[in-house]
Chains A and B, each alone.
Chain A
Amino acid sequence: MQTDRLIAALATDTRTAPRRIGPVLALALLAALPVAVALFMAILGMRSDVRTAMHNPFFDLKFVVTLTLAFAAIVVSLHLTRPEASFGRWGWLLLLPVVVIVSSLAAEMMMPHQRPWLARLIGNNAMACMASIPLFALPFLAAALLALRRGAPANPGLAGMTAGLLAAGLGATLYASHCTDDSPLFVVVWYSIATAFVAAVGVFAGRRMLRY
Chain B
Amino acid sequence: MRGRDDEWTGLMRAANAGDATAYRRLLEAVAPVLRAATHRGLARAGQPVDQSEDIVQEILLAVHLKRQTWDATAPFAPWLFAIARNKLIDALRRRGRRVFVNIDDFSETMAAPAPSETLSAGEVATHLDGLPSRQRDVLKSIAVESASIKETATRLAMTEGAVRVALHRGLASLAAKLREP
Interface of B is mostly: helix
Instruction: Give CA–CA (A16, B20) in the complex, Å.
Output: 11
CB distance from A28 to the nearest CB of B (A): 15
User: Which of A1, A8, A17, A20 is the one whose CB lies under 8 Å from B57?
Assistant: A1
CB distance from A100 to the nearest CB of B (A): 29
Instruction: Give CA–CA (A12, B56) in the complex, Å.
Output: 19
Number of CB contacts from chain A to chain B under 8 A: 115
| A82 neighbours in B (Cβ, 8 Å) | 69-71, 79, 82
Instruction: Give CA–CA (A19, B66) in the complex, Å.
Output: 10
Interface of A is mostly: loop
CB pair B82 A83 closer than 8 Å: yes
- Judged by a CB distance under 8 angstroms, whether B143 is at the interface is yes
User: Which of A5, A16, A154, A212 is the one whose CB lies under 8 Å from B143?
Assistant: A5
User: Which of A4, A5, A84, A211 is the one whose CB lies under 8 Å from B79?
Assistant: A84
CB pair B67 A18 closer than 8 Å: yes
CB distance from B143 to the nearest CB of A (A): 4
CB distance from B86 to the nearest CB of A (A): 6
- Judged by a CB distance under 8 angstroms, whether A6 is at the interface is yes
CB pair A211 B179 closer than 8 Å: yes
Known: A5-B143, A5-B146, A211-B179. A12 touches B69 (CB 8 A): no
Of the four ranges (under 10, 10 to 19, 20 to 34, 35 or more), the interface on chain B belongs to: 35 or more
Of the four ranges (under 10, 10 to 19, 20 to 34, 35 or more), the interface on chain A belongs to: 20 to 34
- Judged by a CB distance under 8 angstroms, whether A121 is at the interface is no
Known: A1-B122, A14-B15. A7 touches B167 (CB 8 A): no
CB pair B83 A152 closer than 8 Å: yes
Given A2-B117, A3-B60, A12-B149, list of 18 further CB < 8 A pairs? Answer: A1-B128, A3-B31, A3-B53, A5-B143, A6-B61, A7-B27, A8-B146, A10-B171, A18-B67, A18-B68, A20-B68, A83-B66, A84-B74, A150-B66, A151-B66, A154-B82, A212-B65, A212-B175
